[in-house]
Amino acid sequence: MAETDWNPWRRLLALPNESRAKTIIVAFLVSAVCAVLVSGATVILRPIQTANRAAEEQARISDLVRGIPGMSTLLDASGGTLSTVVIDLGTGRAAQGVTAETLQVALADQANWTPLSAGQDIAGLAQRPNYAQIFLLREGDEISLVLLPVTGQGYGGRFDAMLALHGDMNTIAGIAITQHAETPGLGGRIEDPSWQESFPGTLVRDDSGEVRFKVARGDATTEYEVDGITGATRTGTGFTRMMQFWLGPDGYGPLLDAIARGGF
């Protein structure tokens, strides 16, 4: 009498190829091995993918910044080297434990967003992220330029922009619109270079710290205003509210104060 082989692998291989049990087991094992390999590759490649995305984002931001009227000359004159940091908007300081590489993961957690009351929510955001990635240009120990992503609600929907402030944290160096849904030929003119060129030199806050920036209804008449866009009053109002929110205490206000007094 032949001795029984208790090795399950050999017993499986001994089954005829047309065996349904053998087919199902082999298919399961192949699927399991493939799943392990795919999962392992994902884990191994994730840091590389994250680094590549960060590099692509940095390159996109650099191209965007150089597209701001006059910004390329300003960067070249100052060495052209931008650094980036994730800040805690509540404190105006560098975030603890959140980097540019982990920012999107952090913001996927709803706990890292702050609901805004009706009185706070002048930009129509409903909630504000607790962290934001900003870009700095330094000359020695001094910050000569800061680039701030801002977002708000216009007439046609959300618009996003990159705001550049000089080292005094009160004078606009330039602005670039990165996304909008405004009406072409009307509010859509916010992306026209001719309108964006009116921003450099505009002040955003008065001596008391109150945010005074405004898109005028017509030609600008004060040092805190930029020209309005004919036929796009609601777009201008939305842009004004966006700027006033992000430059105020619930936006970048704590950061701007810290930089202005040399504490960042």
Q: What is the pLDDT of residues 119-133, one digit of tens each?
A: 999 999 999 999 999
Would you say residue 233 lies in a domain?
yes
Of residues 159 and 75, the one with the higher pLDDT is 159
3-state secondary structure 32-97: HHHHHHHHHHHHHHHHHHHHHHHHHHHHHHHHHHHCCCCHHHHHHHCCCCEEEEEEECCCCEECCC
Helix or strand (DSSP H, E) at 26: helix 20-66
Would you say residue 16 lies in a domain?
yes
Would you say residue 127 lies in a domain?
yes
The reply to whether 246 and 155 lie within a common domain is yes
The structural domain count of the chain equals 2
Would you say residue 215 lies in a domain?
yes
- Provide mean pLDDT across the span 164-176: 90
Q: Is the pLDDT of residue 228 over 50?
A: yes
- Provide mean pLDDT across the span 16-27: 76
Would you say residue 3 lies in a domain?
no
The reply to whether 109 and 31 lie within a common domain is no
The reply to whether 14 and 75 lie within a common domain is no
Count other C-beta atoms under 10 Å from residue 176's C-beta.
22
Nearest to 135 by CA among 184, 85, 79, 195: 85
Strands 142-153 and 93-94: unpaired
* Residue-level pLDDT at 242: 92
Q: Is the pLDDT of residue 42 over 80?
A: no
Q: Is the pLDDT of residue 249 over 90?
A: yes
Would you say residue 103 lies in a domain?
yes
The reply to whether 109 and 236 lie within a common domain is yes
Q: Is the pLDDT of residue 139 over 80?
A: no
The residues, any chain, with a CB within 8 Å of residue 85's CB and separated by 6 or more, are 94, 133, 134, 136
pLDDT band at 232 (very low <50, low <70, confident <90, very high): confident
Would you say residue 1 lies in a domain?
no
Place of tokens 């017509």: 218
Asked if residue 219 lies in contact with residue 195, where contact means CB atoms within 8 angstroms, the answer is no
* Residue-level pLDDT at 6: 66
Provide the token pair at 128.
Answer: 């504000």
The reply to whether 46 and 174 lie within a common domain is no
- Provide mean pLDDT across the span 178-195: 75
- Provide mean pLDDT across the span 225-253: 90
The reply to whether 251 and 142 lie within a common domain is yes
The reply to whether 25 and 143 lie within a common domain is no
Range(s) of the domain holding residue 22:
8-57
Place of tokens 């967003």: 113
Q: Is the pLDDT of residue 136 over 80?
A: yes
On average, the pLDDT of the chain sits at 82
Q: What's phi and psi for 69, nearest 5 deg? A: -50, 125
The reply to whether 82 and 27 lie within a common domain is no
Q: How wide is the angle at C-alpha 112 spanned by C-alphas 110 and 114, nearest 5°? A: 90
Residues 71-95 have pLDDT tens digits of 566 566 656 567 889 999 999 999 9
Would you say residue 26 lies in a domain?
yes
Instruction: Provide the percentage of residues in the chain whose pLDDT is more than 90.
Output: 33
What is the pTM assigned to this prediction?
0.72
Length of the chain (residues): 264
In sequence order, what E strands does the chain have? 82-88, 93-94, 113-115, 127-129, 131-139, 142-153, 158-166, 172-179, 214-215, 225-226
Maximum mean pLDDT: which of 59-63, 98-102, 220-224: 220-224
